[in-house]
Structure 1
Amino acid sequence: MTPGVRPLIAGNWKMNGTLRDAAALAEGVRAGLDRAPNADLLICPPFLHLHVAAASMGWKPVAIGGQDCSAEANGAHTGDVSAAMLADAGCGFVILGHSERRADHGETDAQVQAKARAAIEAGLIPVVCVGETEAQRDAGEAEPVVAAQIAGSLPPDFARAKGVVAYEPVWAIGTGRTPTEADISAMHGRMRAELVALFPGQGETTRLLYGGSVKPSNAVSILALPNVDGALVGGASLKADDFLAIAAAVSA
């Protein structure tokens, strides 16, 4: 972890569950908050579940975030959700540039940057995701690829707005595979260097999360690494006990 930086454990629920499931999961997280006193918690339900999750959470103990937003403030953009709408619904964060968005919807770094700019203007904290494919890692290109994504995806006011960067190697998401601790440490070190260069005086304390098959069994070792300031949790965030166990690993 980075000295002086409070860890963030974020749960990306992706496209899962019903309204009843969302309420039960949020209530389960709220019931176990005393297990994770040393970390900030964030849950990111599907758009339709934001309100019921926030209400079940009691609105305040855990932050609520969206899984994407439009770069546009309003208008004829059928199916899109603006950053202002998310803020109005009680969100404080929004995940942007997740590899599933980049792959499934062809999102570019420039588009992610535009969305991050819109999020900041609406008062949201963007959680911008970066990460390499397996082919890019095998070719020795992992660090340059991620560095380029950081440079291309973050707007100039990102650090000032307390933006968060999440490293998720694409080949580790949902596969049960994780990079070695040495690989994670090296990548987060490179990311820190890029942020310091982009945002002098602020990049030193920008929160860097690791994501990609994070689970209770590996959370303690991952969260102990330098420049790993929390986790972006996918599948394990759909079980309150697992999500809370990962958050509790901060204290361990």
Structure 2
Amino acid sequence: MAERTKLYFASDVHLGSGTYAASREREDRLVRWLDMIKTDAAEVFLMGDLFDFWFEYKTVVPKGYIRLLGKLAELSDAGIKIYFFKGNHDMWMFNYFEKELGATVVSDELVIERNGKKFFLHHGDGLGPGDSMYKVLKKFFRSRLCQWLFARIHPNLGIGIANYWSQHSRVAGAKDKEKIDTQQEWLVIYCREVLHKTFYDYMVFGHRHMPLDIALDKKSRYINLGEWIYYSSYAVFDGEDIKLEYFT
């Protein structure tokens, strides 16, 4: 068996988006990827919007995704560390994955150092210039008041409303990465502002649905993980360097 030393990063799978058949196919693809990487993965970072919607009631979670959850349990039981990042579609994660999988749930950024390389990790929503309306909504949706109010709604109604909202907050834009002005890309602007204060070798995000690897300066890079609707893209750190790859 290969030694487990690698870090794997993926984002924006949006399970539950589209038709049931399309979501199941995407889930099966992700499970095959997890099965492939389990031989050499030390840590797996699922960096937001794994689900198109997620809310944990006290005794209820959204049904489905049993193949994915079973595979994640297998990895966890094998000693592979799993991280869940809250995205803008699945920000209402609480302690379910911590209790069932021993996972770490990350609300905002996570800073880690591995093999002498420093990583800044974040889903990517609400950062950088602009998008002021979403930043206000994010604060409200993450507030205890909003979560308490939503929890008072019966799951049949609450999850139905949330799925309708989520389906209309569309998964889009993945095919336009060639049109991106990398100097004006708002997460690149954010990264360069952060680097004025603190050095990171790699700044890794999801959210933008575009696989991107952009030099921020001579030593630091911005990595966007893309998504799993068009690209099935992910990143892997082998102890020396990080690179984008595509699962087929």
TM-score tier after normalising by the smaller chain length: 0.3 to 0.5
TM-score (norm 1): 0.44
- TM-score relative to the length of structure 2: 0.45
The structure carrying a bigger helix percent of its residues is 1
